[in-house]
Amino acid sequence: MVVTRFLTGTLLIVGFIVASAMPVAALQTCEVVDTETEEVLPGVILMWDSSFLCSDAPDTDDYTFTVFVSNDASSVEAVTIQDLQLASTTPKPRGQSPVASGEAAGLPSTLAPGETGSFTVSGSYSLVSTDEGKKANLHFQATGQGSESGDDFTLGINAHFRAPGVAAE
């Protein structure tokens, strides 16, 4: 019985050491490289993070990035960003598009004039091989509407994944 407890305790300690030494899967992070400012509805000006660069991307991975959106103080109404869809992926060398998924957390989000909010985009991707190296571009559309007018608008958001050594265009 003492030997069994000793072996069980030893196995638990060894298992903990092995699990601690195993690498944790990295989550690809992306940096903002461009913002857009646009009158998305009459009298409503939004500024948002529109382009992200995900450098040194492995062939496949999970990713996350946060999009900040500001409703200008001079805007005439609040807006609600309702949803985010992955509209397409590029490039398509030899007809093969990058495989990817994407979804948003933190939507819907309503922004009164002068307010800033954010939502997080996460998912997975796989790079494709091109003449310039391995890459993937994910093209998203965030949809929303004016809170008073009910008019619809769309915000374009892009994430550019580049393998190590592949330059961003």
Q: What is the pLDDT of residues 84-138, one digit of tens each?
A: 999 999 999 888 899 999 999 999 999 999 999 999 999 999 999 999 999 999 9
| Contact status, residue 137 vs residue 89, Cβ threshold 8 Å | yes
d(CA 146, CA 144): 7
| DSSP state at residue 25 | P
Which pair of structure tokens corresponds to residue 125? 């991707």
Whether this model's pTM surpasses 0.75:
yes
| Contact status, residue 86 vs residue 140, Cβ threshold 8 Å | yes
Can the peptide bond before residue 42 be classed as cis, meaning omega within 30 degrees of 0?
A: no
Which pair of structure tokens corresponds to residue 89? 């992926």
Q: What is the pLDDT of residues 8-53, one digit of tens each?
A: 444 444 444 444 444 444 588 899 999 999 999 999 999 999 999 9
Q: What share of the chain is helix, strand, coil (3-state, %, to 5)?
A: 15, 55, 30
Is residue 85 packed enough to be buried (19+ CB in 10 Å), middle (13-18) or exposed (0-12)?
A: middle
> 26-162 has which fold?
Immunoglobulin-like (2.60.40)
- SS3 category, 2: helix
Summarize the confidence of residues 131-157 as an average pLDDT: 97
pLDDT for position 169: 72
Q: What is the pLDDT of residues 58-92, one digit of tens each?
A: 999 999 999 999 999 999 999 999 999 999 999 99
d(CA 3, CA 169): 64
pLDDT for position 26: 56
pLDDT for position 96: 87
Residue with the bigger pLDDT between 162 and 8: it is: 162
